Chain A
Amino acid sequence: MKQVIIENIEDYNYYLKDKEKNDYKITIMFYDIELPKVNDCLIINKELLKEKGILNLGLMDDYYGRNIENKKDKDLVILIKDNKEIYLKKLYG
């Protein structure tokens, strides 16, 4: 898992940067939560940072994604917002 900071947001496009100063641009659709803002952080699997399509993220009990049962699951994403951790997961389809 990697921590990235949200540097900029344009519509659904999120511009992210990690501690090693690598840049990422991912199209993310967040469902059922207040949208993140610039300077919020994501803790996210490296594989998800390679997404070229749309990364859909929803709440842990959302049935459009797999059941996540451990902290190392590749579909788990943690949004750090206002000093709170919000657990999200990748949705499919």
Chain B
Amino acid sequence: MNQDLKLIKKHYGEKMMHLCRKMLPTILETEGLLPSLMFKNFEFNHDLYDDLKDNELLDEFRNFMYKQVNIEPFLYIDTDKTPEELLDEAGYILYECHSESEIQSFKRYYKKEEEICTFKTHRLDVSRVFFAIKKDVNQIKREDFIKPSRQDLYGTSVISIQFKKDGTNFLTITNRYNHRVRNPDATFSSNLDNIIPGLTKSFEKYYGIVQTIKDREFDIPNYVNIKGKYYKYNNEIGNIYYCPNNIIIKNEEIIKYPKEKYIVMDYFILDLQNKKIMLLDEMEDGFAYNINNINIKNIMVVNENLDKKIIITPDKGDEIIIKLNKDNQIISIKDTNIIRGENYFLTYCRNIEHLELPNLEILGDDALYDNTALKELELPKVKIIGKNFMAGEETALKVFRAPMLDILYPYAFCALNSALEVLDTPKLRAIGFMALKYNTVLKVFNAPNLESIGDFVLFCNESLEELNIPQNVDIGMSFLDYHPHRDEILESRRAI
């Protein structure tokens, strides 16, 4: 393996090395050029290949890299063949649409709820619209494609080629799966020559359609481009980017915190020497507040393969254990000392899968707001949970047990949660506005001490089978509105 590829493998991983070897042979001909381009444009990161592949950006990466050395990544071949002839060779029949009814005639090729929004009319006001249909389209069945992929046989069997009518002729190639796949409007990487060589020039020659914009912005989801270099980030909060490898980007300034003194974990900056947690930009977080209000005797960091375990030993009480994944995102916390969690407790921590707070009694507002990883949570002593608990994202929480919970404050306890199947809160007296609004799968709601239910609680639920609440509960508006047997469920409620 040549030295350049070894460097790529070291800093970006083996898959990336193979990709570069396959896609960038011209660049590899010049010794030292490939690593220098990669180092200049991409912060070291072994996830880069997977992130490009998952977002269908491999071709775009190739084009981007060749542009860095002013090499046209693509030679647009000249031809005397018409677009119809070329597409016929590629197995398609080409149609141009001149009226709305002609456009609508292609709707039949799409599965319901996968139709392209071209069918919502008026597209001809802004675009020139063509459809290319595979000659064997009737043999390509949607049900045979269980895991849609943008470039698979089904996705590319019916495409709409559209040119914007603003002089640029900006090209869009839509996909038969539409939004079921990523970047559906960039099928064939928005390059006609990827369908069949010569097609770009052919459209120029025979339809007079000259694309003046062939370059696209190279955007990678969850990467930020700062002064030309792409950085992967874990969190973006208030325009500050918190990246793996102890990097924070603020106002386009790259700040690298020395690893012997600090650990940047999610959006917390753990100061190992001064034994405290710092937050930027006057941010608040109940977890940081708690750590900063105890006397810490020692902090130990243990590497466990690519993960880390941080052991905080307080003057009084048990050790607090925090586990981080390879990107320094918090995945687990155990704290047996904490009794009160202040507002914004772990509010932006998306990736916590395990939380052990056995003595927590009060949890403030906006706790775990952005979490999407916890599947089960037990808070055995919690009595009060503030508003917006796990309310910001579609949470994965399936089981929630809080045997001492008395009050769930208003505004959206897990409002967006559609996964919760078990809600075990036998002492619950009040459940606030919009709690579990989007939940559809909860089957048993056991709250024999309940006194009040806020508006829109369990609004979308269709699965509830057992409702154990007292007869005289004060029930708000739109409780179980979507449930097909709402009236029977309400009549059958009983207290155990």
> Are A and B subunits of one complex?
yes
CA of A38 to CA of B85 in the docked complex: distance in angstroms?
Answer: 47
Is B306 at the interface (CB under 8 A from chain A)?
A: no
Contact A52 B170, CB 8 Å, known A58-B117, A69-B394, A92-B117: yes
CA of A13 to CA of B170 in the docked complex: distance in angstroms?
Answer: 14
Write out the residue numbers on chain A whose beta carbons fall within 8 Å of the beta carbon of B170.
52-53
CA of A58 to CA of B178 in the docked complex: distance in angstroms?
Answer: 15
Is A22 at the interface (CB under 8 A from chain B)?
A: no
Write out the residue numbers on chain B whose beta carbons fall within 8 Å of the beta carbon of A58.
117, 120
Is the beta-carbon distance between B120 and A31 smaller than 8 angstroms? Answer: yes
> Nearest chain-A residue to B184 (Cβ)?
A92
CA of A70 to CA of B125 in the docked complex: distance in angstroms?
Answer: 33
Is the beta-carbon distance between A64 and B117 smaller than 8 angstroms? Answer: yes
Is A56 at the interface (CB under 8 A from chain B)?
A: yes
Is the beta-carbon distance between A56 and B117 smaller than 8 angstroms? Answer: yes
Contact A63 B113, CB 8 Å, known A47-B219, A92-B178, A92-B179: yes
Please give the number of chain A residues whose Cβ is less than 8 angstroms from any Cβ of chain B in the complex. 26
Is A3 at the interface (CB under 8 A from chain B)?
A: no
| Interface residue tally on B, bucketed by range | 20 to 34
> Nearest chain-A residue to B215 (Cβ)?
A52
Write out the residue numbers on chain A whose beta carbons fall within 8 Å of the beta carbon of B172.
53-54
Is B160 at the interface (CB under 8 A from chain A)?
A: yes
Is B393 at the interface (CB under 8 A from chain A)?
A: yes
Contact A64 B115, CB 8 Å, known A54-B126, A70-B416, A93-B160: yes
The listed residue (B185, B216, B219, B392) touching A93 by CB distance below 8 A is B185
Interface residues of B in 253-276 (CB under 8 A from A): none
Min Cβ gap B94→A in Å is 18
Is the beta-carbon distance between B164 and A53 smaller than 8 angstroms? Answer: yes
> Nearest chain-B residue to A69 (Cβ)?
B394
> Nearest chain-B residue to A57 (Cβ)?
B117
Is B298 at the interface (CB under 8 A from chain A)?
A: no
Is the beta-carbon distance between B113 and A93 smaller than 8 angstroms? Answer: no
Is A50 at the interface (CB under 8 A from chain B)?
A: yes
Write out the residue numbers on chain B whose beta carbons fall within 8 Å of the beta carbon of A63.
113, 115
Write out the residue numbers on chain B whose beta carbons fall within 8 Å of the beta carbon of A81.
none
